[in-house]
Structure 1
Amino acid sequence: MKYNFPPCVYAETLLELPKLSELDIRVAKQYLPMIVEYYSQRLLLDEKAHDYLYVKYGISPLVSRHYSLGYSDRTLGAEFSHTNFAEREILRGSLKRLRLFRGSGHEAFVGCVVVPILVGESITGFYAERIARVCRNAKPFYRVRFEENCLFVTLNFEGQRDAYFCDSPLAAIQLCGLINKPAFATDRSFELNDQECEYMRKLGVQDIIILKPANTLASDMSKVRKKLTLAGFRSRIEPNFLEVKYGKA
């Protein structure tokens, strides 16, 4: 049987959804939970990744497990060696279209802590943040989405009318641990689409506090606030009080 696959294109964009075949969708449902668990196990074994999470965000191993955080250490590909060549190539092709592997065949998130984005029981995307100095063409963070709603929210939203808008899922987890307030995030662009705004409304959110990072222009934050106003939310901008350093774990 010959499959009609979309092209293998690796992209880092908030706006573009991957073009997936029916087989790609089946692969996603079967393998994405396994990949999340694999990355979680790799995080348990990596002291540098744990130190990064604790020193920068105050995130303990227990909290990491609570949010299924993981670490990509270049070993995921070896897990597919038990399959035959044809099956392995089909699987890698699907994972490229899902943007977990690059067109070259290398893992996309190598050297990054990885946050799965869950909406209900579905994995709708990933956020990944590099733990070491960025070199060559590597990016400090990545965000890939499989569905229109790819919004990270902390686990304490029920019955809350106000929420904090952070510049990353890791910062949202940090805030939740510090002041026990609900928080959500996309990435450092603070980009939100209509489906994600609707998701926030369904959660009961009415007021949003945008935490402005120190190196972000006020004009950019004003654009974010305008988008929220058009979506029907009240909002205000506050300095990011999360930019602190913790002691070594």
Structure 2
Amino acid sequence: MIEVHAMRIPDACLNGSLEAPLRLVPEETRARALRFLRPEPAAQTLFGAILTRAILCRKLDIPASQIAFAAGPNGKPHLAGRSGIEFNMSHSGRWVALAVAPDPVGVDVESVRGIDLGLADRFFAPEEAAELNALPESGRPAFFFSLWTLKESFLKAHGTGLAQPLNSFRIERGPDSTIRASRAGVPMPWLHFRQYLIEESCFLSVCSQAEDFAEAPSFHTLAELSGALTAQQ
């Protein structure tokens, strides 16, 4: 099964109170987080690492000290020296999300917010941009971010990131609400998607070649994951 995990970053941490999460990550992650000038990206870095490491420790039943990562050709991280387990992490605003699967998987989370919707003409396939522009203005931001997370999850499952243009493929929903991908009009039926609304106006999307997605994300707290990491030391 494709596991989907989510964690809401406490407001205090987003505002700069980072002592607790800093104690739970390796020195390299601490240093990377502290290089940020603003507390929000620092908190996102820390909580993304905590969620990823704690869930993988549980799944593999190993201590955190034995978790090692390597990067693929386009920078997508994977477990070093282990096969049969893939993961992907995303963060946006006060949320971090993680997907874990036997096969390559991509996840993206985004909260609906103000944005220049003209970006759709640049980054979306023509059919997608037309669908967006046909909506009432009030419904366009939610459509934009719903579609954006699906497209990002596609790219991250492939491990290409933005090296592959977002407008090089199309995402569409069928009459039964099934989400499908195609390129140049050719369907890609081996790809499957699942989208969750984890709070009002916050979309979490997952893409994988498997289709046994979790019915709902598992939500976690810092206290819970802190205990998991400490227990595995």
Indicate whether the TM-score tops 0.5: no
Scaled by the length of structure 2, the TM-score of the pair is 0.30
Using the size of structure 1 for normalisation, the TM-score is 0.29
